[in-house]
Amino acid sequence: MDKTNTLKITIVGDVAAGKTWLWQSYFQNRKPPYVQTMFDNYSTSVLYNGQEVLISLFEMCGDEEYAELRKVIYPGTNVVILCIAVDNPESVAKSGNFGSLERWSLELKDNCKGIPIVIVGTKKDLRGDPVVLRRLGENKLKPLKYKDIIKATKKFKNAIALDCSSISKDGVQDVFKAVVKLGLRNKSYNK
């Protein structure tokens, strides 16, 4: 297969941000039980504009203690997917600061210069969930809105914002279409 048709996608985000559910709902059409992922790799091919594209997807645990290990998977990445769970608004805004988003911003700037980043608001089906609304309301918080995800892109160069639900699959296909498009464009630009 022509090397231009191969993409390396790295998916990162906080623990329980929906990383595994996102890619497994798209590529494997399933919803896995929650088990914290330390590292996962999945390869498949997809058709994009009539062209076969081989995708190697790398997922690494989002815990801060794994930052050094994540540095090993970043080289050769064509696109980064950064997952932000809409039911975890503290990941974006914490006391007027950016919570873990600030950490991801620094890590990706250090390790993925010039790489397109797709910031994905995951779990969008939970925006109206009464249990989530009650839990967040107890701390005077609300689920992240799509405009919050868009605002998060300002912390990065080369970033776009999308949101999706791995449960209903709403927006999941759009995420991976954008990822493949950006990845192929990035490879062509960097030839």
- pLDDT tens, N- to C-terminus, the chain (191 residues): 455 589 999 999 998 899 988 988 887 776 656 556 666 778 888 889 888 999 999 998 888 888 888 999 999 999 999 999 999 988 876 544 446 888 899 999 999 999 999 999 999 999 999 999 999 999 999 999 999 999 989 888 889 999 999 999 999 999 999 999 999 988 765 55
Tokens of 190: 């960097």
Nearest to residue 162, comparing CAs of 125, 124, 132? 124
Q: HSE-up of 42 (CA within 13 Å, CB side)?
A: 19
Contacts of 34 (CB under 8 A, 6+ apart): 16
Tokens of 185: 């464009």
All structural domains of the chain with their residue ranges: 3-189
Tokens of 114: 């010039």
Q: Which long-range contacts (CB under 8 A, 24 or more apart) does 38-45 make?
A: 38/66, 39/69, 39/73
Q: What is the pTM of this model?
A: 0.90
Top CATH class, 3-189: alpha beta
| pLDDT recorded at residue 57 | 94
Instruction: Measure the CA–CA gap between 106 and 113, rounded to whole angstroms.
Output: 11
Contacts of 157 (CB under 8 A, 6+ apart): 114
Instruction: Measure the CA–CA gap between 164 and 18, rounded to whole angstroms.
Output: 10
Instruction: Measure the CA–CA gap between 19 and 8, rounded to whole angstroms.
Output: 16
